[in-house]
């Protein structure tokens, strides 16, 4: 029994890394554009399909496929940002928060249904990136999961390094704190917004690409991580990258434990999702702005 719990917890940790990647993408978008991206799950979904087709059509190796999927997701996000989100930066637009919600919600409808048409409504199981499993004593984990967790960690570390060391990363930080001050210092805030939205999308797409062989692809696969990402971001605090990472891991592990410990196995998977949603609602009730985050600031 303990073994089973441990296995579930470790699986949960792997998923937690993926959640953390998705959630940090959402957090980056939130800190800089000050909107909640309701289309985040759909970009994640597109990333999964991008990777699949890149491998199927071009025969690229897995790591490269994931990178290409991330680039394509980045490009897709930039496209949406340039065409639909520019009113957020104009002083004449009213109720920017509502605009952000409705527009990203609209994008999610568009992408999801477009995916149904182009890819078909049925789940698609991409071939494994790496065959076989890692076996350590009693513990077995597919190499795909190990790869996903490892790549996820690399992405997170890379993001943190980017944000703290590179010039663009620091520009992102500056704009997230104060757009006007950043502009005074000479930072081109329009480019930063585009970069932020693209970066968030790239992270989501990367997560989708990594997860494809593990969980299969379907056009509605974005709906679940959508809400999961919200749970995590709210738990970890909108606007705090570190908080999102920690919360992502926590949610992943607790989900794994929930499935392991829930008395009724036929219902456990379905309710696992409801569980995180209830956690989300609970957190929002107690701390309407999340645990580690800064107070919700509207775009200046």
Select 41 or 48, whichever has its Cβ closest to another protein: 41
Report the candidate in 77, 39, 36 with the shortest Cα–Cα distance to residue 195. Answer: 77
Q: Which of residues 106-135 bind another protein (CB under 8 A)?
A: 106-114, 116-117
Closest CB 30 distance from another protein, rounded Å:
8
**Of 20, 28, 46, 103, the one binding another protein by CB under 8 A:** 103
Number of residues located near another protein, criterion CB under 8 A: 45
281 contributes a contact to another protein by CB under 8 A:
yes
Q: What are phi and psi of 141, to 5 degrees?
A: -140, 135
| Angstrom distance (rounded) from CA 292 to CA 236 | 6
How many residues in the chain?
300
Q: Does 270 bind another protein (CB under 8 A)?
A: yes
- Residue 33 CB: number of other CB atoms within 10 A? 25
- Tokens at residue 165, please? 């060391």
CA dist 261 and 271 (Å) reads: 12
Please identify, using beta-carbon distances, which residue of 134 and 281 lies nearer to another protein. 281
Q: Does 172 bind another protein (CB under 8 A)?
A: no
Nearer to another protein, 89 or 271 (CB): 271
Q: Exposed/middle/buried for 89, CB within 10 Å: 0-12, 13-18, 19+?
A: middle
As measured in angstroms, the least distance from the Cβ of 98 to another protein is: 6
Binding site for another protein (CB under 8 A): 35-36, 38, 83-84, 87, 94-95, 97-103, 105-114, 116-117, 223, 227, 230, 234, 267, 270-271, 273-274, 277-278, 280-281, 284-285, 288-289, 296
């Amino acid at each position: 029994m303990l073994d089973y719990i441990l296995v579930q917890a470790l699986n949960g940790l792997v998923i937690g890394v993926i959640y953390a990647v998705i959630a940090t993408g959402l957090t980056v978008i939130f800190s800089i554009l000050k909107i909640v991206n309701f289309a985040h799950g759909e970009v994640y979904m597109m990333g999964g399909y991008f990777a699949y087709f890149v491998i199927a059509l071009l025969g690229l190796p897995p790591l490269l496929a994931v990178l290409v999927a991330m680039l394509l997701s980045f490009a897709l996000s930039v496209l949406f940002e340039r065409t639909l989100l520019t009113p957020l930066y104009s002083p004449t637009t009213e109720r920017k928060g509502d605009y952000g919600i409705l527009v990203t919600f609209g994008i999610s409808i568009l992408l999801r249904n477009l995916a149904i048409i182009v890819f078909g409504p049925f789940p698609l199981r991409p071939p494994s990136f790496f065959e076989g499993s890692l076996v350590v004593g009693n513990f077995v984990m597919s190499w795909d999961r190990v790869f996903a967790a490892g790549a996820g960690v690399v992405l997170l570390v890379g993001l943190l390094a980017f944000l703290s060391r590179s010039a663009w990363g620091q520009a992102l930080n500056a704009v997230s704190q104060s757009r006007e001050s950043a502009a005074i210092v000479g930072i081109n805030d329009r480019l930063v917004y585009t970069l932020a939205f693209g970066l968030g999308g790239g992270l989501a797409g990367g997560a989708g690409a990594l997860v494809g062989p593990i969980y299969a692809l379907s056009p509605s696969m974005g709906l679940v991580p959508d809400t999961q990402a919200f749970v995590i971001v709210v738990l970890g605090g909108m606007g705090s990258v570190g908080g999102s990472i920690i919360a992502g891991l926590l949610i992943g592990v607790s989900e794994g434990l929930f499935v392991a410990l829930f008395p009724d196995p036929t219902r456990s998977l379905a309710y696992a999702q409801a569980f995180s949603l209830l956690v989300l609602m609970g957190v929002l009730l107690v701390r309407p702005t999340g645990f580690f985050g800064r107070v919700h600031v509207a775009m200046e």
